Chain A
Amino acid sequence: MTPRLPRAIDQGLASCHVCGKVTPVNRGRCPRCGESLHLRKPLSVQRTVALLLAALALYLPANMLPVMTISELGDVMASTILEGMVEFWHREAYPIAIVIFVASIMIPIVKIVALVWLCAAATGKVHPSPRVLGRIYWFTELLGRWSMVDIFVVSILVALVQFGAYMTVTPGPGALAFAGVVVLTMFAAMSFDPRLLWDRLEILNASETLQPTPNRE
C-alpha cells in the first residue's frame, strides 16, 4: 500500500478557494485575498442537492414548453428544443442535430444524475471511488456551459429574423426555464466539493485497516 500522504485538513490547514494560499483555518480569513477560510465548502452537499432539485423542477417545462415561436405569413409555429433537433435530423443535418442533442438534452440530464450520484457518494450512500467520480465531476464542470447554446440560438434568431408579417421569431416561455436549468446546474456543480469524496474514502480505509489490527496507530 502507498504511504499515507498528509492532507491539509489533518493539520488544520485550509487552502483558500479564491487564491489557493494554505493557511491555518483558525485565522478565519485568508491573509492574502481576504476571503473567509473553510476546510471544506460550507454546506456543500445540501446546497448542491437544493440547486439540483430546483433544476429538476425546471427540467420538464424547459423541454415541454416552446423555446421560440416562429410566425411565417400568418402561420404560427411553436418549437421546443426536441422539435428543433428533430427538424435538423429530418433535413439530414445530422452533425448539428447531434450537437443539439448532446448540448441541450443529454448534458443537462447527465449532469443532474452525475451530481446526485456524487452527493450520494459524498454522504456515504454509495461507494466513493474518487478516481472515477472525480473524472465525472470534472466533466460536469467543463461541459455544463455548452448547454447554453440553444439559448444563444434563440437570441440570435430573435435578433435576426424580424421581417414583420413575412417572418418573425419571438422567444417562448421554455427558454427561460431552460436557461434556469443550465444556470442552476452550473451553480450546483460549483457548490459541490470533490474533497468530500476523498474524505469518505479516508474514513472507509481507516475502518478497514483498524478492524484486523486494532493496535495500529
Chain B
Amino acid sequence: MKRKASIATWPKPQGAPHPVACHFCDTLHDGAAVPEGTAARCKRCGVLLYQNRPASLVRVTAFSATALILMGIVNLFPFLSMEANGIRTELSLFRAARELIREGSPAIGWCVAIFTLVAPLAMAGGMLYVCAPLLKGRAAPGARHVARWLGRTEPWNMIEVFLLGVLVSLMKLGKMAELTFGVGFWAFGALMLCMAAAVAGIDRNELWDRLEVAEE
C-alpha cells in the first residue's frame, strides 16, 4: 500500500496561538504543525518538543486493547514452571508479588505488584478509556483526570525490566532444575511490545489538544 506523506495534523483548540515551551530549556516556540511522522525539536537545545505520530488514536486504541487482552492471558496461563526433586512450582506475576508478601517482605512485594501489575493495567486501561472515545471526537467522562494520571504512572510501568529479571533468573536456575515456558511467557513478551507501542503511539500535546477540542 502506498501512502502519500500527509501534512495532516491534529485539530487545535480554538482561540489564540498555542505556544509550546521546551521542558528542558524553557525556550518558547510557536507550536506550528509538523508533517505526519516527523517531530519538532527545540531551536536552542535540540530536545524533542512534540511529534506528529501517524494514525495515533487508532494505534493507541488498538495496542492498548491488545495489551489488556494479553494481560489476561499472562495472568491466566502458566508463565514459567520449574520442576526439581519431584516438586513442581509455577511462576506468575501475581505469585511473584504474593510470595514476597508471604515470606515477610510485604513492602517489596507491593512494589513488585505495582510495577508489574497495577501500573501496566492502569496505563493500558487508561489509554484505552481516553483514546477510544476520542476516535469519534468525544471525551469520556473524567477523561482529564485519567489523562493526568497516565503521565504519572508511566515511569512506574516496569514490565520490560521484569522480563530482564526473568532472563537473569533463568541463568541462575539453569543447571539446577527443569524449566518449562508456558503460553503466559510468550504473551508477556508480546505485552511488553504492545505497551511500548501504545505509550509511544501518541504525543502528549496531541492527546491533550484533542481532549480540549472534544470538550469544547
Cβ contact within 8 Å between A155 and B97: yes
Is the C-beta of B108 less than 8 angstroms from some C-beta in chain A? yes
Knowing A159-B95, A161-B89, say if A20 contacts B169 (CB, 8 Å).
no
Cβ contact within 8 Å between B21 and A15: yes
Cβ contact within 8 Å between B161 and A194: no
Among B87, B115, B116, B166, which residue has its beta carbon within 8 angstroms of that of A166? B87
Is the C-beta of B59 less than 8 angstroms from some C-beta in chain A? no
Shortest CB-to-CB span from A101 to chain B, Å, is 12
Cβ contact within 8 Å between A155 and B80: no
Cβ contact within 8 Å between B28 and A155: no
Of B40-48, B122-130, B194-202, which binds chain A?
Answer: B40-48
Q: Interface residues of A toward B: which range?
A: 35 or more
Cβ contact within 8 Å between B25 and A195: yes
Among B25, B92, B166, which residue has its beta carbon within 8 angstroms of that of A130? B25
Q: Which residues of B contact A5 (CB under 8 A)?
A: 27-28, 43-44
Which chain A residue has the least Cβ–Cβ distance from B47?
Answer: A134
Q: With A and B bound together, what is the CA distance between A131 and B108 in angstroms?
A: 37
Cβ contact within 8 Å between B168 and A100: yes
Size of interface on B: residues with Cβ below 8 Å to A:
63
Cβ contact within 8 Å between B165 and A163: no
Knowing A20-B205, A96-B168, say if A131 contacts B45 (CB, 8 Å).
yes
Is the C-beta of B208 less than 8 angstroms from some C-beta in chain A? yes
Shortest CB-to-CB span from B71 to chain A, Å, is 17
Among B21, B24, B89, B96, which residue has its beta carbon within 8 angstroms of that of A155? B96
Q: With A and B bound together, what is the CA distance between A194 and B25 in angstroms?
A: 7
Among B45, B80, B171, which residue has its beta carbon within 8 angstroms of that of A134? B45
Knowing A99-B168, A163-B85, say if A148 contacts B115 (CB, 8 Å).
yes
Q: With A and B bound together, what is the CA distance between A88 and B82 in angstroms?
A: 20
Cβ contact within 8 Å between B147 and A149: no
Q: With A and B bound together, what is the CA distance between A99 and B21 in angstroms?
A: 37
Q: Which residues of B contact A195 (CB under 8 A)?
A: 23-26
Which chain A residue has the least Cβ–Cβ distance from B168?
Answer: A153
Cβ contact within 8 Å between B172 and A153: yes
Is the C-beta of B162 less than 8 angstroms from some C-beta in chain A? yes
Shortest CB-to-CB span from A204 to chain B, Å, is 14
Ranked nearest first, the 6 interchain pairs of A and B with the lowest CB-CB distance are A152-B165, A15-B21, A8-B21, A19-B208, A198-B25, A171-B105
What are 13 sample pairs from A and B whose C-beta atoms fall under 8 A apart?
A: A8-B21, A19-B208, A20-B204, A32-B144, A103-B164, A134-B47, A148-B115, A149-B168, A157-B172, A158-B96, A163-B84, A198-B26, A198-B45
